[in-house]
Structure formats: structure tokens, C-alpha cells
Structure 1
């Protein structure tokens, strides 16, 4: 979840002739093209990041990791992902958006599969960084391609296209839930990564044909970098960084918590992760009309509040019903917070400052994702165990809500 909203606004505008061709394309065909491109977030976040929570308990037991060690692997992936998002435009300029997208997606898929091979801590860390790097490039350029493919149509066209593309995250989460727990049960943690690698290769085979029906976008630089100042969205930026730290702690350790506290079976782990993934898919469409009406930081307050409620449920209602309700609430808000922040940035800045504004917010979010897993892992190694790490997630998200409450909205 990560550096989501740098993509459609950040880098691309189709050429006039390509815009005309895209607008003339059949609507359903265009959405299927975007669904193919959505395999990038499925690989980058669904398989490469979120699914780490499924494999983590078995890896930790077999390799003798502490929770801090396990959290550092999540941090390594986040560092690579942030770097990939930053250099994605350069790769698109240097090699062409379609070629860069295909190469990065293939590299991410192969690196996910290769994670099954080494047992060394530093080798695993290097692979997590590389997976994050390739995933960041693929996700950002894929979003640019989706924006080009979705050109034309009515006012609802752009949010629909964005919903289909970002919904790939939830699809990846749900698909990994259907396979990975059973692969781990039969073959150990290496089987889990092999399963994720196989899913990633299938995703690549679905994404590449979509490129034939996608116009080649042209990158552009922001029109006026001086038009952006961080001060108008300072509280939103602080809140968004805290959301990054709070959400990733839950996403990294909740499966380990459920296995330890409720003795979740592989089938129950699969069902829990499926519920979370399907909730992400549904939320990409359900939140749009709500966030369009909320002003200032209240979009982040609303999504952060639902996320916090999801984390609290797994702690205060330590039953299977509470756990599954937690998955639904957390999934419904985790990706929607990205839309909330992007919506505010688009309203508060002129178009030539959108890229700079969203870029600054993305850096804050990425920084939170880097800090969150390690901090939560260190706390989880203490006497209170994983519950303490999840409580830390609650308090971080509460701080994010408090910061967003101070955010006011002003016209450009």
C-alpha cells in the first residue's frame, strides 16, 4: 500500500492522438486492459508485501529470527519500494514506459520466487530490498499506463479506472490467501514463496498482453515547482506518515498474532486473508463518494478511524468473530486512506503542483512504512509479545487521526 497515488497524476499525459484513440475505445475493453495492468499492484503489494505476513511465522520459527529481525525484513522491502517509486520516472524516460513496466514486473516476480532459496539473513534482506525496488517501479509506471488507457469518458471514468487498478492489491491478497497457507503447511516457508512466485508469474502473463492495448504515455515534469509549499498540508503529511507506520505494523504481524493467540489453522489463515483482500477490493469503490464530500483532514480521520477500529477488534475481542471483523474493517480503510490524501492534495493545490504535493506526502508515508515494522518488532520482542506491537499500531494510528483533525482546507 504504499506509494499508491504518485502514479496517475505524477508522470504521464497521453499524446493528443493517443488520447483520441483511448477515448474511442470500447469502455469494457478499456477496463479489462486496466485489470491486466492491475496485476502490478497485485504483485508489488499483494504478493510482495502483504503476503509476507503469511510466510513470516514459519520463517521465524525455522530461521530463528526475533520479531525485530522479522520486522526489519518488512522495512527492507519498504526501503526498496520507496526507492523504486522515486526512480520510476527515470526508467520510463530512459527505456519507454511499456518496456520499463514489463521489465520491472518480471524482475519483481522472479525475485519473489527466489526468496525461497537462501536461508542467510542478509541474503533474505537483499532480496526483500530488490523486490521492493522492482515493485515500486512497476507500480508507479503501471498507474501511469492505466491513466493513459482510461482516457476519455465521463467524470466517473477516472475514479473507476483508479479503483480497478488499485483494486489489484486486494485481488493479490485474496489470491495469496487461497494458496500460500496450504503450501506452507505442506512444504514449509519455502513452499510459501514458491507459491507466491508462481502466482506472480501468472500475473505477469496476464499483464503483458494488456500492454498491446495501452497507449504509450509521455512523461512530463511539474509545470511550476515553486507553486508547491508543504505548510498548507503539514498536518495531513504528519498524519499520513503515522498511518504508514501504524498500518504496516498490523499487516506484518497480525497473522503471527492470530496463530499464537487463537491457534488459527491454515484454512482459517486463508479465510482471514481472503476477507481482508476482498474488503480492499470493495473499498476502492465504496469510499469514493464519501471522500468526495469530506473536507480538510476528515477524509484521513474517517479512514484512519476505521483502520484503528479494525486493529482494536483483534485485541479487545480475541475470538474468531472479532478477528474476521477486524480483517474486514482494516481492509476497507487501509487503501482508502491513500485516496483520501490524494483527494485533498488535488483540491488544495493547482494542477502544476500536484506532483510535488503528492510526492511529499508519499515520502512521509514511505518513511512511516520503513520505521513501523522495526519499531513494532522491537516492542513485540518484549514481555507482552505481539499484542504489545499491535497496541503500538493502535496508538500510532490514533496519533495520525489527531494530526489530521488539525488539517484545514483552503482553495489553491
Structure 2
């Protein structure tokens, strides 16, 4: 029976005191909750209040997102090397703790230079933790016969959705009762509070440090995933435009704190549940077809506010976008896992995250600059939807590859 096995996997052990793979994946899910849900996406919730208080343009607001993305790029490049030298456990825990500290420190100053540095640090540390956590989640699928790799990866990435939902439930309420600085302190405290959840899964990280060193010495065959790399870069540029400016768009159209809260919670809960819902579909799709399907759904969600700015349309947009955007990461990671030997997984995830981060560096500046033009935020959201559609088309060009062939 499937349900009892799943319950045992979450609550039980394998008979020798070691948590099952699903329980480990649930524990690891706190990593994307912090590195994505809190450190990346929650900025959109605080952005309107910061713009008003600090008199920022949309281009300036986008620059802070770009600083975080540049840090994410640096973290993606550094993660495999740092893991080989320091061990995966050290990099993962250190990344989460530094991310938490940078979030809390963002409450201390309104100076642009200080905030840029803190967003940069949050990006570096968050990316390092996210990549190592993703590599560990990918390994769980190789060692557990009771659950599909797509499900375990989906559970891991669903943590980002839980982070979005939690921040959406708390940050608007805090903003309504205090200054923009208070949410940053809250996010830092929340990040520290959830760290213990990932500790049971880190025994695997310690045993795999030597494997990371071996993978570092051997270049991974990036050409195997060329189309996926292009697609993922376009996705990074497109989705971040929506996630950065959608709340500002809603505020411009009269959304109150309660509406923003509902919007963000719907988006986050949909993203968390999608990790379970999409796994059977992704398990049947090969090559880049899973990524293309999900990017197509994300495109629809991103384009809906351009059709109607009504409250109902915004909630539907949150649902459609939320149910698909984090699952793109699952699909991309699953494709890399299918196509490459296990020794290349950490380097491949880092490489994919690198092009993703490059897209995230370019997307906010482009969308922010367009948002300052005559068409306003609508133009910034439109370019995001166009980039997402281009990413879906590019993903279709990714052929099916097998790990043994790549080896």
C-alpha cells in the first residue's frame, strides 16, 4: 500500500536509525525555503515600502535584485570548489547561516551601498547552500527504490514554495504595523529557526566530500545539456521579472495588505504542493519536454496580469505561476540527473544554476528600466512573459540523453 509506506518514510527509519529518503528530502527542503523563499522572493513584498521610504525608481529597485542574482552567480561558481575543499556539510550549513545573518542585517541601514552588499552576500551564501542541498536531494533518488527521483527532488524544491507562503503570511502584516526594516529582521530570525530541520539529512553530505573533489577534477560534459542551459538562462531572466515587480504592480492597482497576503500565500502554497503533483508527469517526460511544459504554464501565469488587473485575475495568476515555477527547477535537475553520471551532478547543477543566475542578473535591470518608461510596470511584466515563452521553446530542443551514454 502506497500511503502507509509514505507515512513510514516520513516518520520512520530504515531499521538502523537512519531516516528514510523522503524524510531527508523534507528536511533538506528548509534550504530552498531560506535561500529562495526568504532571501530571494520576499524582497518583492518589502519593495513597495522601501521605494516609498527611500525614494527609489524601479530601476534602482531592480538593481538590488540584480545584486542578489550576481551573488547567486558567484555562489553557483564557487559551490563545487568550496564543497571539495571544506566538505558539503560545512558549505551547506555555513551558507544558510550567512544568508540568515545578511537578511537580519538588512534592517540596519537604508544606504544603497550597504543594501547592495548584503543582497550580494545573501545571493552567494544562498546559492551555495541551494546547490549542495539539490545535489544531496538528487542522490536520495539514487539510493531509495521506494520513491521516484522526481518526487524527492520535487519535495526538496517545494521548500521554496513553503518559504514564499510563510513570508507572504507574515511580512505584509508586519509592514502594516511597522517600518520596512522589521520584515528583514523577521526573515533573518525565521531563517535561523528552520535550520535544525535539515540536520538529519547531512550525514550523506559528510560521506560524499571526497566524491565532490573527484568531480571537480573531471569536467562535466556541458554540451550534453546545451539546449537546457540556454532555456534555463531565459527562464531565470523571465521569472524574476514577475517575482520582483508583481507586488508593486498589484499595489499600483489598489491592492491592500490583505490582498497581497492572499496573493503571496496562494503562490507559495501552490508551489509547495506542485512538487508532489508534477512528479508523475515529469517521471514520464524525457529530455527537455518536462521543462518546456512547465515553462509554458509559467508563461501563462506571468501573462495573466497583462490581460486583467482585477483581483480575481491576480489570484489566478498566483495559482498558475505558483504551481509551475519552482517545478521548472525540479524538471531541469531531473533532466541533468537522467543525462549525466552521479559524479557530475553537483557540477552540472552548479553549471545550470550559473546560467540561471546570469539570466537573473539581466532580467531585473531590463524589466526595471522598462517599468520606468511610459508603459510602466506593465512593460516590465511583459518582457518577463516573452522571455519565459522563449525559454519554453528552447527547452524543446533538448534531446533525451542517458547517463551511461554521457559517461
Q: Which interval holds the TM-score relative to the shorter structure?
A: 0.7 to 0.9
Distance in 1 between residues matched to 2:292 and 2:137, nearest whole Å: 28
Q: 2:207 aligns with which of 217, 230, 235?
A: 217
Structure 1 residue 255 corresponds to structure 2 residue 247: yes
1:11-410 aligned at under 5 Å gives the runs 24-25=15-16, 31-146=22-137, 152-156=143-147, 158-208=149-199, 210=200, 216-219=206-209, 220=211, 221-222=214-215, 225=218, 228-230=221-223, 232-261=224-253, 263-351=254-342, 353-410=344-401
Distance 1:312 1:61, change over 3 A: same
Q: Is the 8 A contact 2:135 2:349 kept in 1?
A: no
- Equivalent position SS for 1:326: helix
For the residues of structure 2 that align with 1:101 and 1:90, how far apart are their CA atoms?
13
Residues 136-145 or 309-318, more deviating: 136-145
1:157–1:341: structure 2 CA closer, same or farther, 3 Å change rule? closer
Q: CA deviation at 1:200?
A: 1.5
The alpha-carbon distance between structure 1 residues 227 and 179, as it changes in their structure 2 partners (threshold 3 A), is: closer
The gaps in structure 2 that reach 5 residues or longer are 1-12
Kept in 2, the 8 Å contact 1:228–1:356? The answer is no
Contact 2:172 2:260 in 1 (8 A): yes
Could you state the TM-score of these two structures normalised by the residue count of structure 1? 0.86
User: Cα deviations across residues 349-370 of structure 1 (Å, max 9, x unaligned)?
Assistant: 4555555544433322111011
Q: What CA distance in whole angstroms lies between the structure 2 residues aligned with 1:87 and 1:310?
A: 33
Is the CA contact (8 Å cut-off) linking 2:96 and 2:125 kept in structure 1? yes
Secondary structure, counterpart of 1:117 in structure 2: coil
In structure 1, what is the Cα distance between the partners aligned to 2:400 and 2:143? 29
Deviation at residue 141 of structure 1 after TM alignment: 2.8
Judge conservation of contact 1:84–1:136 (CA < 8 Å) in 2: yes
| Pair 162,297 (structure 1): closer, same or farther in 2 beyond 3 Å | closer
Aligned-pair CA distance for 1:305: 0.8
Q: Which moved more, 1:168-177 or 1:189-198?
A: 189-198
Measure, in 2, the Cα distance between the counterparts of 1:65 and 1:184: 18
The more displaced of 124-133 and 281-290 is: 281-290
Q: Number of residues paired by the alignment?
A: 388
Relative to structure 1, the CA distance from residue 397 to residue 99 in structure 2 (aligned partners, 3 Å threshold; closer, same or farther) is closer
| 8 A Cα contact 1:310 1:328, kept in partner | yes
Give the TM-score taking structure 2 as reference length: 0.87
Change (3 A) 1:359 1:193: closer
CA displacement at 1:25 relative to structure 2: 5.0
Q: Is the 8 A contact 1:97 1:145 kept in 2?
A: no
SS in 1 for 2:179: helix
Q: Look up the match of 2:7.
A: none
Whether the aligned pair in 2 keeps the contact of 1:109 and 1:204 (CA below 8 Å) is no
Q: C-alpha displacement at 1:55, in angstroms? A: 0.4
Q: Cα offset for 1:187?
A: 0.9
| Contact 2:77 2:351 (8 Å CA) reproduced | no
Counterpart CA distance in 2 for 1:38 and 1:298 is: 25
How large is the RMSD of aligned CA atoms in angstroms? 2.6
**What is the CA deviation profile of residues 83-135 of structure 1, one whole-angstrom value per residue up to 9, with x for unaligned ones?**
22322233334333333332321211111011011111111000000111111
Q: Tell me how far apart the structure 2 counterparts of residues 45 and 192 of structure 1 sit (CA, whole Å).
A: 16
Q: Point out where structure 1 has 5 or more consecutive residues left out of the alignment.
A: 1-21
